[in-house]
Structure 1
Amino acid sequence: MDNMNDMGCSSQKIAKSDSIHHMSHSQMRPELPPLPASAEEEPSELYQTIMSHSFYPPLMQRTSWTLAAPFKEQQHYRGPSDSIANNYSLMAQDLKLKDLLKVYQPITVNIPREKIVQGLPLANYSSEPNKKKRKFSPRGKEDPTRTKLACNISISSPIKKEVAISSTLPGSRPMSPEEQIGVMLQQELEIEGKETQPSESDLERYYYYLTNGIQRDMIAPEDDEVMHRISKLISNTLLTSPFLEPLMIVLVKEKENDYYSSLMKSIVDYILMDPTERKRLFIENIPRMFPQRVIRAPVPWHSVYRNAKKWNEEHLHTVNPMVLSLKELWFKEFRDLRFVRTAELLAGKLPLQPHEYQDVIQKHCMEARQILLNKWIPTCAQLFISQKEQWVHFAPKSDYDSSHNIEEYFASVGSFMSLQLRDLVIKSLEDLVSFFMIHKDGNDFEEPYQEMEFFMPQLIMIKLEVSEPIIVFNPSFDDCWELIHNSFLEIIKNSREIPKVESVLFPELKGYDLILGTVNTEEKLVSDFVDQTFEVYQKNQVGPRKYLNVYQKYDDLLDNMAEQNITAFLKENHEIEDFVTRIGSIKKRRNEIASMHITVPLAMFCLDTMTLNYDLCERAQNLKDRLIQFQVDVNRNTNTRYCYCGQRNSNNIWHERENENMARTFTFQH
């Protein structure tokens, strides 16, 4: 009675969720302790009755040396290593590691029947197929027939040839996606036909063991590093937001529950792989997992890919650490290098005279070239010297070894550095195009010309000069385009003849191509850049040509028509007032010319009109001086004639003085 009371007390301490609590639930019988492992006699009838009528038999051991030990292991004397994963191979369930001997994997080869007939009995010869598989193992040493067979195989070269041929036979034709899904569906139908759907009782009991069959303390807790890795994938703003803190707590709890639930399900599914455990737990069938279908695309190119991959592993050097070092060096010190520093040009004094523009372009290109020769190449060579362990294994070990590998390696390095040099040239050309593209809208304007329409800095100064009888541009537009086009050629010219790094590492090399590749002037890339600039250049020719219309009313000063008009005027008899009027009109034209712009901003170009305006003013002044001089000469001749005639009466004296005073006054005024 006391024992029964003690047992009742102990059963009250067991949690309601524990599976052992329900063992005697159906008939309200007291719980019995498990049988000792040393008991060899058959369990009592009472124990068997309670176990057979148990509503939820236990799934796991309550007390064991290891956690998560299945209940079925109680009746076996097996260590943890012997019981691990024994449900995957039921036939080897009772094997122990100490009883296992070393197992040698037999070798199987295909041997033509006619090649081995001399080593086999005649009876076997008539009953075996044309080709027979033979297995070789250490035990074959005891069989003289096998020994003889092995000897025959070792000396038979045709057999080796056939084995080699069989290894290179093409594989089966890859299945299409439709064929693959058809095979998978057929397999699923076959499996469904062999399995029985679980009953409601099976589902109920299966769900019970998923939720209550395994205690959490039997499962190793999740590593804290997992949560740390998950946090790295989430923005820090979301992690530290106070509004999302409740959601974060819920998600962390959900992750923890999912972790334990997945492990519990895996353990239950593993235990139920044993048919005896299914019978003991009264679960005949379990739900099938949802089929996971993976369709692989046909890969008829597999052999080609495999060969290409092997070749790349042996010959592709772009993944060498030295290439990464060269890339980091370029990015750190030379990524902003340009042959033409356009930002410096725009920040400097603009516009430039044609010869000044040419000198600046040549100076910038030469400075960039010196940086490449005196800094980039020596620094790269120093990297190869300091990190020679990354590439020295490609070098020949002796004078008799081939240098193909090291040549191939430095050819790859040279190609990579050539790409860096090309990138520098291309970016310099792009910057030069952008330098002119700021005036891509052209310089056409509506007359009259308004200086404030062109506020962008001009690039090149063009002078307006007189080449009778027209006004010309100096330099001409053809010369300006040649100057601009030569800027592109100057960049490419200074990027040539840059030596490869091996010319510094191995100065004794002769007869090799030791020059880095660069952009060629014949490339379409260069022609595209030049064409873009030429379009901008053409749009900026309109304004200067249109501005010449301002000087159309002064064409008579250029083609000598004004000179001829003055000559015709002087041949006629005119009063002094006519001379005053004519001289006044010429003076007015001269003042108009003197007040015109001496610099005319027109987008890309700036016109220098100082020389032209001065020349026109001089021509107008010469016409004015000619009229004045003519009148002075007329007055002087008149006075001289009066003097020679000797007529000195008062009227003549007065008339002479009047003419002289008029001439002086006329000269002073004009």
Structure 2
Amino acid sequence: MNSQVHDLETQAVLDAKFPPATVPTIGLERPATPPSPERPRYYRLMEQCIDPLMIAPLDTQHIENASRLVPEVVRHQYKGVLKYLEKEIDADYVRAVQKSILDYILLDPQEQTRLGIHLPQMLPQSAGRTEFAWHESVLEARYFLSDWLFITHPVMMELHQLWIQRYSSLRLFSIAEIKEQLPLTLASFVHEFHKQCNTMATTLQSEWIPQCVEIIDSHREDIEAIMPEDKDIRIIQMGHFLDSVAALMSTQLRQMVMNSIEDFSAMILLYKSGNDYKPPYKPNMSKISPLIIIFMKGNIDLQTLQFSPDMSDLTSALCELIDTFYVSVSNIPRVDASLFMEEEALSIRYVETVKAWDSIVASAKESVRNVVAANSLGLGRFSSEYKTFENIYTRKADRFVGLFLDSDHTLSRYKTEIDKYKAIAVAVASRLVSVALGLFLVDTKPLCEFLTDRANALANRVIAKVASKSRQLNREICSQFETVAAKLSEQPDSIHGLVELLDYNHGLHHGIIEDLRVSLSL
């Protein structure tokens, strides 16, 4: 069993039956309508028997008056549509006059009989007014709206025209200007973004607000004329008028902010397909220009490769830019401050705009998160291209070089080890300096410099060991040379001593000199 939704009186009002639009009601007469079988003949008589040439043309003043109600920018931009509308207005006018003439003729019962069309008199219906008198309520509401509803005031139309002509096409930031500078680092992108938003906010405050004040001030006498004499009510009604102005300006400012957020979201969504490209990588992997430059770096402490900024910081920064749209225009004062501030010492109130909790803000931030996530996949795949240098950007190579240097090796073995790390430095230098991966332009210069420095540092450790060993070897050679020189410079005092010296000289080629040759061999 359904529970009762409305009380009995409300339900009785809802149950009141309203007749069709062709039926007259109390206080609202309507022309009689022929029965359905006779309506085709009725319309044939109206259209074929009353020549449009017999009807006075529509007064051009009426057309001009109607045209003035159309915004000027629309009149100039859609001239063809206005011509079509004028023809439609003229056709409706002719048809209405034809119908009026025929209805007037059919007021005579004899004419109804002659023309074969009968118009039964329809009794007016109450449309609920007998049971529920609403006439006074409607009049009261009408008078209230005429006194307190200001959206139809000429000031509102001029304020709207000003916005349409000067500011409706503007945005808080210019995509065209930003595209000319792309790609940008995150810091540069944020800086340019803030600069443009603040510039537009300054323009609105220094140009739009004074222009609105000027429009209202030019109608000051008209506004004063519609205000009541009673001072207290006058203050209240003037407050309502200014609230109406503020509501209109708030709607306009909200539209600018919302359009700017939508344009920003559209720019970000160009990269929604992501960047999960497969090798081989080329400098330009995507068809559209990347937006943000990110740097690929090595971290020896964490023994991993990193992107700067990381995806978390980048997402937060882009989401904060969305907040910048409404924050940058949140301190634009209402016209009250310029109109009455000095006289009334009013507190400054600001034109309302988009808020942080509005759905368009949440939707734009969600789009940013999804696009950044889609463009994070390709970065991981691209990082794997540097897997061959894992020993360099981790500490594995340090441990290997340490173990290598703990043992003695020949100079040729040292040379092989040095050449290995020099070759790695050359291989790193031959890698791509930058790669466009969807939303990002990956700049690998910091990573290449890091890996090159690491490879050179490891080679230098081996070189330092070779230099140290060479110095020690040189000292040993010099010591042996001095020993040999001292021995050969001796003066033998006998034949036996001379024989021993000759034997020592011959033994040098198979002893000390051979050992030196082996030590110096490469």
Q: Scaled by the length of structure 2, what TM-score is found?
A: 0.70
User: Relative to structure 1, is the Cα distance of residues 619 and 263 closer, same or farther in structure 2, using a 3 angstrom cutoff?
Assistant: closer
Residues 601-610 or 262-271, more deviating: 262-271
More relative contact order, 1 or 2 (CA 8 Å, 6+ apart): 2
Determine whether 1:321 maps to 2:148: no
Distance in 2 separating the partners of 1:330 and 1:428? 16
Distance in 2 separating the partners of 1:659 and 1:614? 37
- The corresponding residue for 1:383 is 215
- Which residue identity does 2:484 align to in structure 1? Q
User: Relative to structure 1, is the Cα distance of residues 587 and 267 closer, same or farther in structure 2, using a 3 angstrom cutoff?
Assistant: closer
1:614-625 alignment, distance < 5 Å: 614-625=449-460
Q: Comparing both structures, which one devotes a greater share of its residues to helix?
A: 2
Deviation at 1:542, TM superposition (A): 1.7
- Which residue identity does 1:333 align to in structure 2? R
- The corresponding residue for 1:495 is 329
Deviation at 1:647, TM superposition (A): 3.0
Q: Conserved in 1, the CA contact under 8 Å of 2:337 and 2:348? A: no
User: Relative to structure 1, is the Cα distance of residues 377 and 647 closer, same or farther in structure 2, using a 3 angstrom cutoff?
Assistant: same
Distance in 2 separating the partners of 1:227 and 1:380? 36
1:587-606 alignment, distance < 5 Å: 587-606=422-441
- The corresponding residue for 1:48 is none
The superposition leaves residues 461-506 of structure 1 with CA deviations (integer Å, 9 ceiling, x where unpaired) of 2222222212222222222122112211222211112111121111
1:77-226 alignment, distance < 5 Å: 175=17, 222-223=54-55, 225=57
The superposition leaves residues 29-77 of structure 1 with CA deviations (integer Å, 9 ceiling, x where unpaired) of xxxxxxxxxxxxxxxxxxxxxxxxxxxxxxxxxxxxxxxxxxxxxxxxx
- The corresponding residue for 1:142 is none
Deviation at 1:524, TM superposition (A): 2.6
User: Relative to structure 1, is the Cα distance of residues 625 and 320 closer, same or farther in structure 2, using a 3 angstrom cutoff?
Assistant: same
The superposition leaves residues 565-602 of structure 1 with CA deviations (integer Å, 9 ceiling, x where unpaired) of 12322334544443444333323222111111222222
- Which residue identity does 1:467 align to in structure 2? N
- Which residue identity does 1:321 align to in structure 2? P
User: Relative to structure 1, is the Cα distance of residues 373 and 293 closer, same or farther in structure 2, using a 3 angstrom cutoff?
Assistant: farther
- The corresponding residue for 1:578 is 413
- Which residue identity does 2:166 align to in structure 1? E
SS at 1:465's partner residue? Answer: strand
- The corresponding residue for 1:546 is 381
- The corresponding residue for 2:284 is 452
Q: Conserved in 2, the CA contact under 8 Å of 1:463 and 1:608? A: yes
User: Relative to structure 1, is the Cα distance of residues 613 and 444 closer, same or farther in structure 2, using a 3 angstrom cutoff?
Assistant: same
1:17-56 alignment, distance < 5 Å: none
- Which residue identity does 2:285 align to in structure 1? E
Q: Conserved in 1, the CA contact under 8 Å of 2:297 and 2:447? A: yes
- Which residue identity does 1:409 align to in structure 2? F
Determine whether 1:647 maps to 2:475: no
1:316-465 alignment, distance < 5 Å: 316-347=149-180, 349-395=181-227, 397=229, 402-465=234-297
Deviation at 1:378, TM superposition (A): 0.5
Aligned pair partner of 1:505 in 332, 335, 339: 339
User: Relative to structure 1, is the Cα distance of residues 616 and 220 closer, same or farther in structure 2, using a 3 angstrom cutoff?
Assistant: closer
User: Relative to structure 1, is the Cα distance of residues 608 and 292 closer, same or farther in structure 2, using a 3 angstrom cutoff?
Assistant: farther
Matched residue count? 426
Residues 622-631 or 220-229, more deviating: 220-229
- Which residue identity does 1:647 align to in structure 2? V
Distance in 2 separating the partners of 1:224 and 1:462? 75
Distance in 1 separating the partners of 2:474 and 2:102? 138
Deviation at 1:175, TM superposition (A): 4.5
The superposition leaves residues 340-391 of structure 1 with CA deviations (integer Å, 9 ceiling, x where unpaired) of 22221012x2221222122112211111111111100001111112233442
What value does the CA root-mean-square deviation take over the aligned residues? 4.3
Deviation at 1:298, TM superposition (A): 5.4
Distance in 1 separating the partners of 2:285 and 2:361? 33
Q: Conserved in 1, the CA contact under 8 Å of 2:337 and 2:346? A: no
Deviation at 1:630, TM superposition (A): 3.0
Distance in 2 separating the partners of 1:391 and 1:265? 45
The superposition leaves residues 182-220 of structure 1 with CA deviations (integer Å, 9 ceiling, x where unpaired) of xxxxxxxxx99xxxxxxxxxxxxxxxxx9xxxxx9xx99
User: Relative to structure 1, is the Cα distance of residues 297 and 495 closer, same or farther in structure 2, using a 3 angstrom cutoff?
Assistant: farther
Aligned pair partner of 1:520 in 355, 370, 379: 355
User: Relative to structure 1, is the Cα distance of residues 659 and 265 closer, same or farther in structure 2, using a 3 angstrom cutoff?
Assistant: closer
Deviation at 1:269, TM superposition (A): 8.8
Q: Scaled by the length of structure 1, what TM-score is found?
A: 0.55
- Which residue identity does 2:333 align to in structure 1? P
**Unaligned residue ranges in structure 2 (runs of 5+):** 1-11, 24-33, 36-44, 64-78, 84-90, 486-504
Distance in 2 separating the partners of 1:510 and 1:485? 39
- The corresponding residue for 1:480 is 314
User: Relative to structure 1, is the Cα distance of residues 503 and 659 closer, same or farther in structure 2, using a 3 angstrom cutoff?
Assistant: same
Distance in 1 separating the partners of 2:402 and 2:102? 121
- Which residue identity does 1:432 align to in structure 2? F
User: Relative to structure 1, is the Cα distance of residues 639 and 592 closer, same or farther in structure 2, using a 3 angstrom cutoff?
Assistant: same
**Unaligned residue ranges in structure 1 (runs of 5+):** 1-169, 182-190, 193-209, 211-215, 240-251, 275-284, 664-670
User: Relative to structure 1, is the Cα distance of residues 225 and 535 closer, same or farther in structure 2, using a 3 angstrom cutoff?
Assistant: same
Aligned pair partner of 1:289 in 117, 131, 140: 117
Percent identity over the alignment is 21
Q: Conserved in 2, the CA contact under 8 Å of 1:425 and 1:492? A: yes
Deviation at 1:305, TM superposition (A): 5.5
- The corresponding residue for 1:186 is none
